[in-house]
Amino acid sequence: MRFAHSHSKAAKFSRTTLGSRLVRVLYVGEEVFLESLDIFERSKDNEWSFTDCTSFILMERTGLSQVFAFDPRFEQAGFHMLP
């Protein structure tokens, strides 16, 4: 629920993150969307969500091989999880 925590703090965090030189925001266009959909359709045995598939595509396109996450799906997709 959006109002379970401070709305203003969430908005401030978002603006700060967007303004950071350490963060690169990637927007999903039609090409990435369709490529993600292809992987999503082919991965019915992996239980990957569409969001997972989109993350995998964006990571591959930007050359990222490591992810800070606790979701084993990233390892299933061939990425190295940190910590």
Residue pLDDT, tens place only, 50-67: 999 999 999 999 999 999
Residue pLDDT, tens place only, 1-13: 455 678 889 899 9
Backbone angles phi, psi at 26, to 5 degrees: -110, 130
**Residue 65: which of 80, 48, 50 has the closest Cα?**
80
What CA–CA distances, in Å, run from 35 to 24, 46, 77?
21, 17, 15
**pTM of the full structure:** 0.79
Q: Is the pLDDT of residue 71 over 70?
A: yes
Tell me the average pLDDT of the chain: 92
Q: Kindly indicate the confidence band of residue 22, based on its pLDDT and cuts at 50, 70 and 90.
A: very high
pLDDT at position 83: 85
